[in-house]
Chain A
Amino acid sequence: AQSVTQLGSHVSVSEGALVLLRCNYSSSVPPYLFWYVQYPNQGLQLLLKYTSAATLVKGINGFEAEFKKSETSFHLTKPSAHMSDAAEYFCAVSDRDTGRRALTFGSGTRLQVQP
């Protein structure tokens, strides 16, 4: 079974500082990996996804993530935080069952950006 662990349920950074949100996965086969962002009382918006191509994936809003197989990690980064980045972030892994293809989510990391 697949699983995702997000280290740190809350992360606080200053505006302009580096954002680093951690995600480790467990999967018996090469996974598909995702990062989603959720603003209060809204659905999830895809930031980026890894699908076995380039290990460094660039997403929207200046975010990027690097797939490291040796570390089973897919950490999300952004060089300079903006106030509008304050939200909850979810890492997810997709199984390869071609019918189901459901997402397994981590427990989420709430990002606070201090002025």
Chain B
Amino acid sequence: SQTIHQWPATLVQPVGSPLSLECTVEGTSNPNLYWYRQAAGRGLQLLFYSVGIGQISSEVPQNLSASRPQDRQFILSSKKLLLSDSGFYLCAWRKTGGGLGYTFGSGTRLTVV
């Protein structure tokens, strides 16, 4: 069966420090991958999506970047965190050409202090 792993679950980082959040998918190949952010009291905003290795599309201008070094690995990064980067980050995957079945990871709660 397919599973999605996201880590760490919680993270407290000082302003100006770097960030790396990792998401991996098991049990499928060539998935579409997504990073969403949920700011306090708000809905989920799409940050990045990827349809293949090295292919990243950014949805909003921001302090973050994403990379896909392997087929089932999706990394969210920042060189210098801002207070406004705090939030709940969710990774999701969907089978390419496989309809509308999205599966979400358990999320990372990031607090920038």
- Closest Cβ–Cβ distance, residue B4 to chain A (whole Å): 8
A101 and B92 CA atoms in complex are apart in Å by 12
Interface majority SS on B: helix, strand, loop or mixed? strand
A46 and B104 CA atoms in complex are apart in Å by 9
Q: Which residue of B lies closest to A99 (CB)?
A: B51
A108 and B97 CA atoms in complex are apart in Å by 28
A44 in contact with B34 (CB, 8 Å): no
B107 in contact with A107 (CB, 8 Å): no
Interface size class of A (residues with CB under 8 A): 20 to 34
B72 at the interface (CB under 8 A from A): no
A34 and B104 CA atoms in complex are apart in Å by 14
B100 in contact with A43 (CB, 8 Å): no
B43 in contact with A108 (CB, 8 Å): yes
- Closest Cβ–Cβ distance, residue B58 to chain A (whole Å): 12
- Closest Cβ–Cβ distance, residue A114 to chain B (whole Å): 22
A32 and B43 CA atoms in complex are apart in Å by 18
Q: Choose among B32, B97, B107 the residue that contacts A43 (Cβ–Cβ < 8 A).
A: B107
